[in-house]
């Protein structure tokens, strides 16, 4: 369904936002994804994914406190919304359904 559409990277970001509940902002999300997925994430790519999902309504954001390390700039914390959760569920579910449909034969790697 179109309204739950999530890109692969968006899905990871959305999941990470959920994982980091309460502490999800730019740098922390980036580090978390890099740690778990062992892949480099550019701030630009991350930000554009966050913006996109915010527009779709999967996440909301609010400005938080400032720390010295940020030169007096406030953080923007992201939180997953109920709609976001629904999208995640939908994605997971369709994926699992598809996975289960695969016949065993297709996964047996013998010489043909």
Partner 1 sequence: MSNNKPLYSPPTLGSQLLRWFCKDRLLEEIEGDLLEYYQIEREAKPKWKANLLYWFHLFHFLRPFALKKIGQNSNIIIMYRSYFKFAWRGMMRHKMQTSFHLLGLVLAFTVCGLIYLHLKFETSYDSHHKDADDIYRIAWMNENPQTRTPHPMAQALVSEFPEVVKAVTFSPIYGPGLTKDVILITHDASNVTHEITDGYFADTTFFDVFTYEPIYGNPKQALQNEWAVVLSESTAKRFFGDEDPVGQRLSFNGMVDLLEVAAVVKDAPKASHFRFNFMLSYVTLKSLPFNDPWLSWDDFGHFNYVKLSPGTNPEVVESKIPNWIPKYLNWSEDNIESLKAGEIGFKLQPIQDIHLHSNIRWELEPNGSYSYLIIYGVSALFILLISIINFVNLNTARAAQRLKEVGVKKTLGAFRSQIFTQFSIEALVTTFLALILSVFVMNWLETPFNNLVNGSIAIENLWQTETVTFMVLTAIFTAIVSALYPSVYLNSFEAGSILRGLKLSKLGGSNLRNGLLGVQLVATVILISGSLTIRNQIQFLKDKDLGFDQDNLMVLTIVGQTYSQKIRTLKSELESISGIGETSMVSNVPGGQFNQHPLYMEENPQLRVDASEMFVDKDVASTLNLEIVEGRMLDDVFAADSAGTAFVLNETAVRELNVQDPVGKQLFWVNNEELVKGTVVGVVKDFHYNSLHVPIRPIIMMMNQNAYNHLIAKFDPNSLPQIIEQVEEKFTEIVPEVDFSYRFLDSQIEELYQEEARTFRLTVILSAISIFLACGGLLGVISIVIRQRVKEISIRKVLGASAKNILWLINLKHLLIAAIALLIAIPASVIFMRNWLSNFTYQAGISPLVYGVTSVGILMLIGLTISLISIKTIKANPANNLRSE
- Site residues for partner 1 per CB under 8 A: 25-27, 30, 42-45, 47-48, 51-52, 63, 66-71, 73-76
Identify the bridge partners of residue 62 per DSSP, sorted by sequence position.
77
Say which DSSP state 58 is in. Answer: S
Quote the distance between the C-alpha of residue 86 and its chain's center.
13
Backbone conformation region of residue 99, classed left if phi is above 0, alpha if psi is from -120 to 50, else beta: alpha
CB of 92 to partner 1, least distance (A): 27
Residue nearer to partner 1 on the CB measure, 22 or 71: 71
Residue nearer to partner 1 on the CB measure, 27 or 92: 27
CB of 86 to partner 1, least distance (A): 24
């Amino acid at each position: 369904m179109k309204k739950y559409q999530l890109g692969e990277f968006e899905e990871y970001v959305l999941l990470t936002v959920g994982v980091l509940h309460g502490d999800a902002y730019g740098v922390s999300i980036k580090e978390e994804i890099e740690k778990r997925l062992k892949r480099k994430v550019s701030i630009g790519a991350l930000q554009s994914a966050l913006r996109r999902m915010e527009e779709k309504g999967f996440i909301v954001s609010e400005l938080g406190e400032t720390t010295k390390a940020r030169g007096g700039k406030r953080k923007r914390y992201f939180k997953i919304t109920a709609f976001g959760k629904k999208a995640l569920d939908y994605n997971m579910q369709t994926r699992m359904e598809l996975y289960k449909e695969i016949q065993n034969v297709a996964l047996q790697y013998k010489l043909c």
